[in-house]
Structure 1
Amino acid sequence: MPLIFRRVRDNRLVTLKIDITEGPAPYEQVRAQISEQARSGGLPVGYRLPTVRGLAERLGLAAGTVAKAYRALEADGVIETRGRNGTFVAAAGAAADREAAAAAQVFVERVRRLGLSEPDALAAVRDALRAAYRG
């Protein structure tokens, strides 16, 4: 069922489509779609998201499902909660890039300690990415 948000700045529409019958868990669908739209600019920095209960009601999901997605998005730096003022899209692009670079550095240090060659390390990353994006 699509949920349509009206953007504040230019009145374009942004949608979420959640399929509860197949695919990833509903909270993961909410998380992934909001994350992608925030990173692509579909949801602009500073955009105020619906409340957990409001979004859950519109999507026909449990509030705990949406809350779990919001917690994951906040942990990833995609959104920020400002207490009673609401939940907003954060300037996540740069934060995500910094976090990915830090994770890559930790990985590099670990594979060097293990004595893996660069081709073996890259193969491990490719395998992990394929597994992550398949499931």
Structure 2
Amino acid sequence: MMTIDEDSAVPPYQQICDQIVARIERGELAVGARLPSVRGLAAELGVAPGTVAKAYTQLETAGVVEAKGRAGTQVAAGRDSTRALAATAAAEFAARVHRLGLGTDELVRMVRAALDKL
């Protein structure tokens, strides 16, 4: 069962992504497994449907899941979901920092400092 930590600095949509990827890696969700509907999962987690939709879109962009129309959203085959999701998150972060006008060296220092705190 998935949960949302409202006290976390990690946005709810990212928590959903992380938990789905973790369930895939643990073998709890096999290739082709159907994910809950957007509205169903939103109701279960107490979040807006748009939050779940954003998570599913990010997972689909990363190749972790596939939207199958009326058949729902299913776990995709043949991708390294952790690396794909990390690459998507890194690209989004880099674009956000670029819009703030920070340079590459400063960005790398910030990421290293953040990783050192983990």
Q: TM-score range by the shorter chain?
A: 0.5 to 0.7
One of 27, 33, 38 as aligned partner of 2:24: 38
Cα separation, partners in 2 of 1:89 and 1:129, compared to 1, 3 Å: farther
Bigger drift between 88-97 and 35-44 goes to: 88-97
Tell me how far 1:18 sits from its aligned partner.
Answer: 1.2
Q: 1:85 aligns with which of 62, 68, 71?
A: 71
Q: Gapped runs of 5+ residues in structure 2? A: 87-106
Q: Paired residue for 1:49?
A: 35
Letter in 2 for 1:82: K
- Residue 57 of structure 2 corresponds to 71
Query: Is residue 21–residue 82 contact of structure 2 (8 Å, CA) maintained in 1?
Result: no
CA contact (8 A) 1:77 1:96 kept: no
Contact 1:26–1:65, Cα closer than 8 Å, also in 2: yes
Offset of residue 39 of structure 1: 2.6
TM (norm. structure 2) is 0.66
Structure 1 or 2, whichever has the larger Rg, is 1
Deviation at 1:48, TM superposition (A): 0.6
Relative to structure 1, the CA distance from residue 86 to residue 78 in structure 2 (aligned partners, 3 Å threshold; closer, same or farther) is same
Instruction: Look up the equivalent residue of 2:3 and give its one-letter code.
Output: K
Inter-CA distance 133–59: structure 2 relative to 1 (3 Å threshold): farther
Which residue of structure 1 aligns with residue 95 of structure 2? Answer: none
| 1:131 shift after superposition | 3.5
One-letter code aligned to 2:43: E
Structure richer in strand, relative to its length: 1
The one of 45, 65, 74 aligned to 1:59:
45
Give unpaired runs (5+ residues) of structure 1.
1-14, 101-123
Higher relative contact order (CA 8 A, sep 6+): 2
Partner of 1:16: 2
Give the 4+ runs in structure 1 shifted more than 3 A: 92-100, 124-135
CA RMSD for the aligned pairs? 3.3
SS in 1 for 2:6: coil
Tell me the distance in 1 between the aligned counterparts of 2:44 and 2:84. 34
